[in-house]
Structures are given as structure tokens and as C-alpha cells.
A and B are shown apart, each in its own frame.
Chain A
Amino acid sequence: MDNPNQLLKISNLQVAFPTDDGEVRAVDNLNLTLNIGETVAIVGESGSGKTVTSLSVMGLHNMRTTKVSGEILVRDGDETIDVVSAGMEKVRGLRGRAVSMIFQDPMSSLHPYYRIGNQLGEAFLVHNPGKKKEAKARTLEMLELVGIPQPDKRANEYPHQFSGGMRQRVMIAMALMNNPKVLIADEPTTALDVTVQAQILTLLKDLQKEFKMGILIITHDLGVVAQIADRVSVMYAGNLVEQGSADDIFYNPMAPYTVGLLHSVPRITIGKKSRLQSIPGQPPSLISLPSGCAFAPRCTYIANAPAGSCDASLPVLTGTDSSHVSRCHIPEANRAALFSVGKAK
């Protein structure tokens, strides 16, 4: 990586699962970067490839049943390591130290049989073998930092004695035990209720400043994106359909799918009479992807594209500015007027 601010650089990432019915291409040709102090969100429906992307950054996908190609560069101090080509042991050394991850369901992500203190200390000891005293001190420090009262008492308790929000705090503490520079948060607030969700997001933002981390947040919740993200990548059926700053995505969406997502967010300003708009149809099966644009069968703007173009080929990512790119056959000049969602309402 040339840019010293870059922490993570994903280039041409392809993730596929060979199955008896054919190859499932979960992620196709993904490019993404993450800089120091920045939050990048990956947004999409279930099956769009968000989680697969995050797991492959950690090297946590099943090696035997998954084909990964491309490049995932991770900064580790002065070194740069390519997770895809580096060996198992090298990647393992990165996990929890240079790159950490928190998961969707804090209820099941902590081991039910071990005390919180043990599980946190373990995360430290893996990368600092033998330093038991430091592990203990660090455990209490981190628990305090993520806002768990009476850390010395709570460290001796088991996960089932914590509430959902508290468990997610514990997960965050565990992820940050070794000062990682990259934090991947895979739907960190999906299993939590809204007030706790806001607390966790605020906590993540605070910790980001303190640890100078880059956060890659995976979510399907545009509310979360609006609260926390600087840049957004929208994925559909394994492909990037739009990438840009949060403002671009919310106020100037350029891909019909992004527009659909924005329409389906409930708004408090919406009139009593009007109904919530949803995207018609279902996400396609990744085994039998349509030959053209994967979103074409569900696209409400298809009449605006040159006839037949959507079925013929997958549009390329284009944009007037390389910081905001999108995939659509409708001429870019026409899109702004068609997609005027955020601005008008």
C-alpha cells in the first residue's frame, strides 16, 4: 500500500463456493479501501456478500469449501500482508491483533462455559504469551473503557449474567484487547434494541477516536449507516453497485438499488396515508445469476435504460468522480432527476 493512511485495501476480491449445483459467486470483483480514523459501511440485503467479505478479510471462511482470489492487503505496523496469499499461520497472527471483529449476535458469540475475564484475557495472551499479569490489568482496563461498571467483579461472571447490550460491550472490549487498527463490525447492533443500539454506536465512535482505528461496518440498516459511516459501499448479489461518501449515497444516489433501499426506510415525516415502499421481488439466487444486470428483474427504472441493455450486460462502475461510482445503464445525466429521493422529501 502506497498511501500511509491506508489500513486495508481490498482489490478484485472474488469469493466463490463450489457446490453440486454450480459455483456460488458470493462476492465478485470487489474493491474497497479503509483509512485511519475512517468508517466505511457495506450495505446490502441478506445474501449480497457483506458478511462473506468481512469473513474473508479475517481469513475466517472455510478454506476447504471456499475459493478466494484477489488481494486483501492489511497494514500490520510497517508491514503489509496479503490475507489471500499469506499462509494460515500468518493470518492467524493478524487476527485479534491487527484486525479484530465483532459479530451480530452477542448472545451466542461469547463462550457460555468460560468467565468473561478468562475470555478477554485469552485474547490478550494469544498474542502476548505468558504475560498473565498484563492480561488481567488490560482486561479490567478494557471493561472499564467500554462502560462496564465494577469491572473487577464482572470479569468473574459468565456471559449469561450479562444483558445483550453489555455482552456486545464485552465483545468490543475483547476485540480491542490488542489495539487493532482495523475493526470489522458485522451487524453489531442488529440483535439489540434501538436505545442500546445508539449507545453501542456512540461507544464505537468514541473508541475509534481513542484507538485511531478504521472501522468496516457491515449492516443492512441505513439508520446505522447515517449515524456512523463516512463512506458507503452498496452491494447487491455479490457486486458493488454504488460506492461513495455517506452524503453522496443519501442525497445523491446514482444506482436504482440504492434508491430502492432509501425508499424502504421508514420516515417519521411520511404522511399517514402513504405506505412504505419496498423493492419488489426477491434477491436472485447466486447460482443462477441473470446474465445482465442482477438487479434488472426488480428494477423500477428499467424503462429509462437503453432498450435491452440491462439484460445484455452487467453495467460497469462509472462516475464523474472516482470517489462516487455506481453501476447502471441509465445515462448518468438522466439519473439525478429520476432518483431525486432524499433531496425532495
Chain B
Amino acid sequence: MLGFISRRLTFSIITLLVVVFAVYAIFSLLPFDPAALTCGQHCNPQIIHSNRIRLGYDKSLLAQFWLFIKGIFLGRTYGFGASAFTCPAPSFGFSFNQNECVSTLLAQAFPITINLAIGSLIIWLIMGVGLGILAARYKGKFLDTASSIFVLLGISLPIFVTGLFMLIWVSLKWKIIPIQLQGYVSIFSNPIGYAKYFVLPWITLAFAFAALYTRFTRASILETLGEDYIRTARAKGLSEKIVLRKHTFRAALAPIVTMASLDFAGLIGGAILTESIFNLPGLGRLTLQSIYEFDLNVVVATTIIAAAVVIVMNLIVDLLYAVLDPRVRI
């Protein structure tokens, strides 16, 4: 078990290094000069040159890469003498466009994204799995048909349609769900403001996922009900309730744990569409903006976070699956 985890962690670190290096390499291939982008309106070759040295862009790709990795653990100081400034560890470099250390930008964006992801995960699991169970239980009946309409809508309507619909009609025109545009507040300081801030994006994001989960849950339960061990359970004289609850659900829902963990990991990387529509300053929007502005350090940092979350979630899924399914032992 411990061996498994340490092995996985070693591989994870190697994977992360490769990811970071790949992003670095791709950016170095782009036909623009990062130093030139840092100097604004009153630009001249001297400023560009001094900025290049100050930010380390004069060094080789490998050397820059090394400085970046070192910065994560030790912090990084740019420039010399009086004009020097430091981004403390963990430093992901400095964003010239925003004139901030990248770690500060991340610290602002991360809570938004994580709150968005957790909230919608809870909603879509309850809705998707619940509806899937009902659809399987009443297969071919009205509830099943109704849920398949829901699934069809959820899968075929893109976020930018449902999101705008929620925003314009549900919230602004019909005023069914209130919206708070003042900005993010913590759940601990102002729970109502927090809920108002997130409820629309939560529902929008959850809707798309819930549809997939409904379909998946329904299929998984129906498949499990056809298993030989379910017939054995019935042959014992167990009631249909116990056959469903004890014997079917556990086997049918185990793959959903995997699916949910990976989808969740994907969302931490940033729900770009949802964040853009609802004007949430989360990781997704930060990434998008930085790509437009060729802000290398920010893009690298968000990529690392996205990759790290996927890697960690994969590890958690493997451990969790071993708990759920005794055939998997690590």
C-alpha cells in the first residue's frame, strides 16, 4: 500500500515535470518575444533588453525551466539592487500584464473555482444519480421517459445556451433565482451572499453533468440487475428492496465514483465557459485571459494546477476503488 502510493507519487512528479516542460517548450516556439511584451507604451530596445535580463529570458530554455522549478520551492527574486523584487515560495513567476506574482493571482482565483466545482458536483450527483436510479427502477414507465428528455436536453444544450438562459430569463426577467453581482464572499462570512453568488453557475454546470450521470447510472443499474449474483440474491428469498439497495447499488455505483472524481478534477482546471458567462474570476478565466495576453508564467501555473489535480484525483480514485471493490487490492 505505502509502496504503491510512493511509486505513484514519484511517477506523478515526473509527469508534472514533463507537463511543465512541454508548456515551456510550446511557448518558446511561439513567434513573439516575451521580453517585448513586458514593457508597455514607452518602449525602447534598452528597456526590452534590461527586462530580458531581469526576467531571465536571456537564458537558455533549460536554464529558465530550472529557475522556474527552483522558484516553486525557494521563491524567486527578479532584478538586482534597488529595483529587485521577490515572489515568495511557492513562486510561479511574475505576471507582467497584471503586475502581480502569479501565486497571488492563483490565490485569488482558486477559491472561486473550487467553490464552483464542489457546489455543482454535489448538485449533479444528487440529481444525476437520483434520477438515474428512478429511471432504472421505473424502466419504460413515465418517469423513465421524462428523465430521458432531461438527459437529451442536458447533453445537447451547450453551457453557453443554458447559462445565458439562466442568466437572462430565469434570473433577470422572471426573477426566479436571485443573482448577486457584487462579487465573491466567503461562505463563513456571508452564507446568503455566497449562495446567491454561486447558485446560477452551479445549476448551469450541474445540469450538463447531471444529464450524463443520469444516463450512466440508469445503464449501470440495469446492467448490474442482469448479473448472475443478483439472481442469486433473489434466489435466497431477499426482498426486492434489499436486492436493490445492498446488492445492486454498491456494484452499480462504484464506476460512478471514478467518473465523478475525474470530472471534478477536470473542473478544477477551470470551467472556462461557465466562469466566462457568469463573470466569475476563477482559474478558467484566468487561464483564458493569460493565453490571449501571452502571459507565459500564468499559463504554466494554471496548467500545473490542472495537471496536479488530475494526477492526485487519479491516485485517490485508485485508493477509493480498492475500498469499494475487494477484487482490487493494492
Seen from chain A, the residues whose Cβ lies within 8 Å of a Cβ on chain B are: 58, 60, 92-97, 100-101, 103, 105, 108-113, 122-123, 126-127, 158, 160, 171, 174-175
Contact = CB atoms under 8 A, between A and B. Distances in A.
Query: Lowest 3 A-B CB distances belong to which pairs?
Result: A95-B237, A96-B237, A108-B228
Nearest to A160: B327
Contacts of A97: 237
Contact of B229 (A60, A108, A160): A108
A117 to B, nearest CB: 13
Interface in B51-86: none
Given A103-B231, A105-B228, A108-B229, A113 B324 contact: yes
A122 B236 contact: yes
Nearest to B231: A60
B242 to A, nearest CB: 8
Contacts of A158: 326-327
B309 interface: no
Contacts of A109: 228-229, 231-232
B232 A111 contact: yes
Contact of A95 (B234, B324, B327): B234
Given A112-B251, A126-B236, A126-B238, 18 more contacts: A58-B235, A60-B235, A92-B237, A94-B237, A95-B234, A95-B237, A96-B236, A97-B237, A103-B228, A103-B232, A108-B227, A108-B228, A111-B233, A112-B229, A112-B327, A113-B250, A126-B237, A174-B236
Contacts, number: 64
Contacts of A58: 235
A185 to B, nearest CB: 12
B33 interface: no
B100 interface: no
Nearest to A115: B326
Contact of B237 (A93, A108, A112): A93
B247 interface: yes
Contacts of A113: 250-251, 324-326
A111 B238 CA distance: 14
B189 interface: no
Contacts of A123: 236-237
A127 to B, nearest CB: 6
A150 B210 CA distance: 48
Given A112-B327, A113-B325, A113-B326, A122 B228 contact: no
Contacts of B324: 113
Contacts of A112: 229, 251, 325-327
B229 A101 contact: no
Contact of A160 (B227, B233, B326): B326
Contacts of B228: 103, 105, 108-109
Contacts of B326: 112-113, 158, 160
A96 B247 contact: no
Contacts of A94: 237
Contact of B235 (A101, A105, A108, A160): A101
Interface in B212-264: 227-229, 231-239, 247, 250-251
Contacts of B233: 111
A250 to B, nearest CB: 31
A100 B238 CA distance: 12
B22 to A, nearest CB: 40
B229 A110 contact: yes
A100 B236 CA distance: 7
Nearest to A89: B239
Nearest to B239: A92
Contacts of A60: 231, 234-235
Question: B233, B237, B324 — which one has the most chain A CB atoms within 10 A of its CB?
Answer: B237
B141 to A, nearest CB: 11
30 contacts: A92-B238, A93-B237, A94-B237, A95-B234, A95-B235, A95-B237, A96-B237, A97-B237, A100-B235, A101-B235, A103-B235, A109-B228, A109-B229, A109-B231, A109-B232, A110-B229, A110-B232, A111-B229, A111-B232, A111-B233, A111-B247, A111-B251, A112-B327, A113-B251, A113-B325, A123-B236, A126-B238, A158-B327, A160-B326, A174-B236
Contacts of B325: 112-113
Contacts of B238: 92, 122, 126
A105 B229 CA distance: 10
B140 to A, nearest CB: 9
Contacts of B232: 103, 109-111, 171, 174
A60 B237 CA distance: 10
Contacts of A160: 326-327
Contacts of A171: 232
A175 B235 CA distance: 9
Contacts of A93: 237
A100 B251 CA distance: 24
A192 to B, nearest CB: 15
A182 B29 CA distance: 77
A108 B224 CA distance: 12
Contacts of A101: 235
A171 B233 CA distance: 11
A171 B324 CA distance: 23
A105 B239 CA distance: 23
